[in-house]
Structure 1
């Protein structure tokens, strides 16, 4: 019983980090109907920047992840302006290919700058935990989860309580209607895309603390992100959060009661099962009707 409780706690903590990693992907899809295959690259780039800053300054990598969000927002804006917006004018369906190509080029750039070796961030609390009787709560996972929910909370507040958020939701409902009420749709799309990629700043920092990574780790992480959004229903932030927790629980239960070597396969098995049994996602029936929904 203690082992099961420990496993469930660990799975929920990991799920909180997965929720943040997937939020930007589902936000972009919900508003723009774009499947951004460069999202895994963005997560790894965020991890590399956070790792590099940690090496240079010695500051807590999760705190550095907050600043990395700003850098990644710039990367997102650049990706939208140079690739996504231009390709959309030609053929919206080509954005899938274009973002994949951007991710492959980005992987090569990361390899040239930071090398192809394994990287990881090991702050002082990396291997420590809070002990509650027989239950151990790892500090790294706890801090990463708290930080992830803080960033998610800021994202929800921005979408619900600011003019930018209202403009994004208006564009998700009807771009033509948004233009009629004076919203600059193109500018709102660029800001929204930058916002979606900005979340990978802290997500990447958390990745570097919790896991080792290499430039080609983006393949693993885009798989996890796709699993989360398919589980929760494409375009739903709330569904993505629920799907992330389910994935985290699935991975931890698999590694505890079956084998760690099957962890990589869990996301793809879940994707296949959901696509076969409930293509709209486990929470998609009520969450996908109005574009992006918090």
Structure 2
């Protein structure tokens, strides 16, 4: 029984980090109806930035989220105005292709700067664990969960308690309606995209402590984050949290009781099941066709 509870709690811990990794992508979709395929590359870019800063300064990599988050915010803002806005105003479906191409470019830049060899960030507590009732929990995982909880709380408060957040919510509901009440939709889209990429900045720093990474790791993370938002409900931030926890717990239990090899397949099995049973996801809602084009 202790093995089950340990696997369950480990799944909940990693689920918090998954939530942060997926929240930015879901925010962008909720506001712009664009699946940001470049999000996986942004996560890995943040992981490499964390690695370089940690290697050069020795600062705790989890504390480096205060640097990587605003850095990726700027990257998101710039790439939106240079690439995403133009493609989206030409043809909304082209934005998907643009983000795919942007992701390839970011991976290429990463490979040119850092190479293709795997990297990892190993602070002093990387191999340390807490012992609770005979169960052991990695300190890196616990600390990462705490940081993810703080960042997600901050994102929630930003969206619920600030004028920018209310503008983002109004634009997500209807861009035309937002214009009618005086919201600058163009700037709101840019802000939502930049905040979504900034969330990848925080998530990448946390993931760099938990997993080895290389440029091609972006493909794994875009697949995982897509699985999370499809399961939880595309456009629903609470759905991101729920979907992340469900997938992380399923991965942990599968790895413990079946095989780590099968755990890799869990997100993709989740996509298939959800698309068949409940296409809008656990917390998603069906959109009318005319609303989906707003």
Q: TM-score band (shorter)?
A: over 0.9
> Partners of 1:92 and 1:283 in 2: how far apart?
25
Instruction: List gaps (5 residues or longer) in structure 2.
Output: none
Q: In the alignment, which residue of structure 2 is the partner of 1:76?
A: 76
Give the 5 Å matches for 1:51-200. 51-200=51-200
Partner of 2:214: 214
The alignment covers a number of residue pairs equal to 289
Give 1:264 shift.
Answer: 2.0
Alpha-carbon displacement from aligned partner over 1:40-84 (angstroms, at most 9, x marks no partner): 001101101111100110010010022100000011111211111
Three-state SS of the structure 2 residue aligned to 1:131 is strand
Provide the residue aligned with 1:24 in structure 2: 24
Q: Counterpart of 2:62 in 1: which secondary structure? A: helix
Matched residue, 1:230: 230
The answer to whether the 8 A contact 1:175-1:185 is kept is: yes
Q: Return structure 1 stretches of 4+ with deviation > 3 angstroms.
A: none
Q: Deviations over 1:129-156 (max 9, x none)?
A: 1111212121100110110010000000
1:283 counterpart residue number: 283
**Structure-1 separation of matches of 2:137 and 2:212:** 20
1:271 maps to what in 2? 271
1-structure distance, mates of 2:259, 2:156: 36
TM-score, normalization: structure 2?
0.95
| Secondary structure class of the residue paired with 2:130 | strand
Deviation at 1:285, TM superposition (A): 4.3
How far 1:180 moved relative to its partner? 2.2
Q: In 2, are the aligned partners of 1:66 and 1:201 still within 8 Å (CA)?
A: no
Could you say which residue in structure 2 is the equivalent of 1:14? Answer: 14
* Alignment deviations for residues 6-61 of structure 1 (CA, whole Å, 9 cap, x no partner): 00010000000000000001110001100110010011011011111001100100
Distance 1:263 1:133 in 2: 26
Instruction: Report which stretch shifted further, 175-184 or 71-80.
Output: 175-184
3-state SS of paired residue (1:137): strand
Cα distance in structure 2, aligned partners of 1:270 and 1:8: 18
List gaps (5 residues or longer) in structure 1: none
* Separation (CA, whole Å) in 1 of partners of 2:240 and 2:192: 17
Confirm or deny that 1:251 pairs with 2:251.
yes
CA distance in 2, matches of 1:262, 1:53: 35
Which residue of structure 1 aligns with residue 42 of structure 2?
42
SS at the partner of 2:47?
A: helix
Kept in 2: contact 1:87–1:95 (CA 8 A): yes
Q: Deviations over 1:71-98 (max 9, x none)?
A: 0001111121111100011100011111
CA distance in 2, matches of 1:206, 1:216: 18
State the shift of 1:207 in Å.
Answer: 0.9
